[in-house]
Amino acid sequence: MTETKTPARGADRAPIPASWDYAPAPEARDIVKIADRYGLFIGGKLVEPLSRQRYTTLDPSREEPLAEIAQAGKADVAKAVRAARDAYTKTWSKLRPSERAKYLFRIARILQERSRELAVLESLNGGKPIRESRDVDLPLAAAHFFYYAGWADKLEYAFPGRTPRPIGVAGQIIPWNFPLLMLAWKIAPALAAGNTVVLKPAETTPLTALVFCDVVRQAELPPGVVNVVTGDGRTGAELVASDGVDKIAFTGSTEVGKAIQRAVAGSGKRLTLELGGKAANIVFDDAPLDQAVEGIVNGIYFNQGHVCCAGSRLFVQESIADAVITKLKRRMSTLRVGDPLDKNTDVGAINSKTQLDKIRALVESGVAEGAEIYQPPCRLPERGYWFAPTVFTNVAQSYRIAQEEIFGPVLSVLTFRTPEEAVEKANNTPYGLSAGVWTEKGSRILAMAARLRAGVVWANTYNRFDPASPFGGYKESGFGREGGLHGLEPYLRLEPR
């Protein structure tokens, strides 16, 4: 409570607050035990890196060190790939599918049991609000393991006329925005299909993957089925180059995705890429506006906008633009930015200094090119990496903020008059990962979904995920699908019966 008004009647009545502040509601940090240093998870054990190199991983909300992490070199990656190959040939590919399923169900249940600890760790290491890691990342990660556990013993019925066989060893490289969830998206289908894996988490967010190694041990997964090598892009490049890997699955930037595609060309390795995006979130004049504003906010400020499918370009039909922008600004002023471990926080810390610098540079370009910037008044903590929720109006399609992926809490608003114009503008991007459509008309939703060049189109909602629903891109957003039956295909050889 900040100020109070004098009550109109009755001195015995409690004063009416003019505005409310939320008292801090911090989640317990000590539920997580973080070791001072971590090794690499190879062959079922945490081992010292042969490279003898380490770096420090931080809490981005405080710029404080959390642990020393191994920077795996070429020999470490080779060792992990050998362990994965051994486990593939000697145990995992020989197990009955129903046995594989049992392990995956176990992992899913342990993730649920340890979800509070993992959610706190995810927020500590990545900066995302605990409300999101607790209510989105962790439940979805467990759901992915449950879902693919269910497929493990049904593969032979899933592809009529074809016999599915595992591929072998999968090298998997993931980003820092949803560390444990991306791990689940990668590991669950690979294991269900009978492959073994070497996973490389992003350099800024290795901790939940390292605790996941403990989950794997608890589940008594045969050694070497899951291996985790930490390190930066150099470690990733070693994994991509490794001769012992049969498939590479990558989620990250388009630039690195292209480099990986070049690196595997001609090697016979399978490849799936889930890359950047610049999604259009399209609001028609018949849309329920308050609901749409919630969807716009969720579309761009969820996870500080560190979301490849974020609704970062808002297209509003011209006749309602003023009303939507007014409502949006009002709603933005209620967003609470701050401590990721506070249960009231809506927008947490930016994941790294590098990312913060990138967001700042793009926002400066937006101002310089002539867009109008709005940021609600909010007090940002002094230490750590922070960026206020931002919206740009008066944006032209040619501006960098309308073209490039910002990967931060920054929305660019553009307008349109007709559905044709909306489609034209929405598709005017090298990306094609996702889109949103807000309208009362079902027929318009179907017509738009058919014409939008995006792997996922949400209607009257945004950023909804389900393990049964395939996710992936068109054009420079990559290829291959994760989730659903489609998500198994990249991990299988389908032979004619």
Q: Which of 81, 260, 349, 426 binds ligand ADP (CB under 6 A)?
A: 260
DSSP annotation of 28 reads: P
Asked if 256 touches ligand ADP (CB under 6 A), the answer is yes
Smaller CB distance to ligand ADP: residue 260 or 347? 260
Please identify which of the residues 274, 476, 482, 489 carries the catalytic annotation.
Answer: 274
Residues 184-203 binding ligand ADP (CB under 6 A) are 200, 202-203
Please identify which of the residues 122, 308, 405, 482 carries the catalytic annotation.
Answer: 308
Q: Radius of gyration (Cα) for the chain, nearest Å?
A: 23
Smaller CB distance to ligand ADP: residue 139 or 233? 233
**What sign does the CA torsion over 76, 80, 81, 86 have?**
positive
CB of 238 to ligand ADP, least distance (A): 8
CB of 128 to ligand ADP, least distance (A): 14
CB of 305 to ligand ADP, least distance (A): 12
Residues 407-446 binding ligand ADP (CB under 6 A) are none
Only one residue has tokens 């001195």, namely 11
In this structure, the number of other CB atoms found within 10 A of the CB of residue 17 comes to 12
**What sign does the CA torsion over 227, 231, 236, 239 have?**
negative
- Mark residues 145-184: x for contact with ligand ADP by CB under 6 A, - for none: ----------------------------xxx---------
Smaller CB distance to ligand ADP: residue 152 or 187? 187
CB of 239 to ligand ADP, least distance (A): 7
Shortest CA distance to 292 belongs to which of 319, 314, 318?
Answer: 314
Smaller CB distance to ligand ADP: residue 92 or 471? 471
CB of 236 to ligand ADP, least distance (A): 2
Task: Tell me if 341 sits within 8 A of 123, measured CB to CB.
Answer: yes
SS3 264: helix
Residues 475-494 binding ligand ADP (CB under 6 A) are none
Task: Tell me if 465 sits within 8 A of 471, measured CB to CB.
Answer: yes
Smaller CB distance to ligand ADP: residue 245 or 287? 245
Q: Residues touching ligand ADP: how many (CB under 6 A)?
A: 16
Only one residue has tokens 């209620």, namely 334
Any residues with CB less than 8 A from the CB of 293 and at least 6 apart, and which? 324, 327, 328, 331
Confirm whether 308 is a catalytic residue: yes
CB of 226 to ligand ADP, least distance (A): 17
Any residues with CB less than 8 A from the CB of 309 and at least 6 apart, and which? 277, 279, 433, 434, 456, 463, 471
Confirm whether 382 is a catalytic residue: no
SS3 37: strand
Near ligand ADP by CB under 6 A, which window of 87-95, 234-242, 364-372, 438-446?
A: 234-242
Q: What is the residue-wise DSSP string for 191-237?
A: HHTT-EEEEE--TT--HHHHHHHHHHHHTTPPTTSEEE---SHHHHH
Which residue of the chain is nearest ligand ADP when measured via CB?
236
Asked if 117 touches ligand ADP (CB under 6 A), the answer is no
- Mark residues 236-255: x for contact with ligand ADP by CB under 6 A, - for none: xx--x-----------xx--
Any residues with CB less than 8 A from the CB of 84 and at least 6 apart, and which? 169, 196, 197, 198, 224, 225, 227, 244
User: Which of the residues are catalytic?
Assistant: 274, 308
Query: Which residues of this protein are in contact with ligand ADP, per CB under 6 A?
Result: 173-175, 200, 202-203, 232-233, 236-237, 240, 252-253, 256, 259-260
